[in-house]
Amino acid sequence: MNTNRAVKAGKWLLVAFAVGAAVWFSRSVLQFDVDSLRSWILSFGLWAPVVYIAAYTIRPLLFFPASILSLAGGLAFGAWMGTLYTVIGASLGAFLSFFVARKLGGLGKTKWTGSAGKIQSQMEQNGFFYVLLFRLFPGLSFDLVSYAAGVAKVRFSSFALATVIGIIPGTFALNFLGSSFISGNPKMVILGIIVFSIVAGIPLAVQKRRSRLNNSASKT
């Protein structure tokens, strides 16, 4: 028994060390601004979309901000192709995070606490809906949702479908905003900000609508 505990403790220490190293690498080495990141992506020529998707896939393991990479995608590829590449890369990254969390969560049947614990509990009750709702919130940590879903009892099929559907609006908004900056047209920039603001309000409207339906159902 003591040996098993020691092995588990050693595994968690390795995980903590890996996470700390990834955070340090992201903050100390990967110091990109959006313009330099765009230039780096485009420097690969025809391979730029592949490199961008691959970078987005491993991004969660490096704790690199998703918003910066999405804006760079819009600057590099435009609103439509940037959205397509970002959705592919972000989905693959989310799937990777999900399976990593599920594997690590199995070490100790992890139950999170605080805000992460609430997210985990909600996902266990209605996985597809809550993953979809959380994906629509641009201010909620993208990676936190993936890791929480992996630890929680969420079916991968529900997680995958909700992730792909849920990230499309926010991804398009960020890529459109990024492409509007490079256009140099003030009207396009304003339009990009408006689009992003509208997309940010979608989850609030969905949640409000759901609350009204629940209140109506409880009264009948």
Q: How many residues does the chain have?
A: 220
Range in 43-47, 54-58, 112-116, 126-130 with the lowest mean pLDDT? 112-116
Longest C-alpha distance within the chain, in Å?
A: 66
The predicted-structure confidence for 17-38, as pLDDT tens digits, reads as follows 444 443 433 444 345 577 888 8
The predicted-structure confidence for 153-207, as pLDDT tens digits, reads as follows 789 999 999 999 999 988 888 788 777 777 667 777 677 677 767 766 666 666 6
The two tokens of residue 45 are 């020529």
What confidence category does residue 117 fall into, taking pLDDT thresholds of 50, 70 and 90?
A: low
Residue of 91, 90, 99, 96 lying closest to 155 (CA atoms): 99
Q: Is 220 helix (H, G, I), strand (E, B) or coil?
A: coil
The two tokens of residue 12 are 């968690």
The predicted-structure confidence for 123-155, as pLDDT tens digits, reads as follows 777 889 888 888 887 666 788 888 888 888 789
**Kind and range of the H or E run holding 209:** helix 186-219
The two tokens of residue 14 are 């390795």
Residue with tokens 């304003």: 190
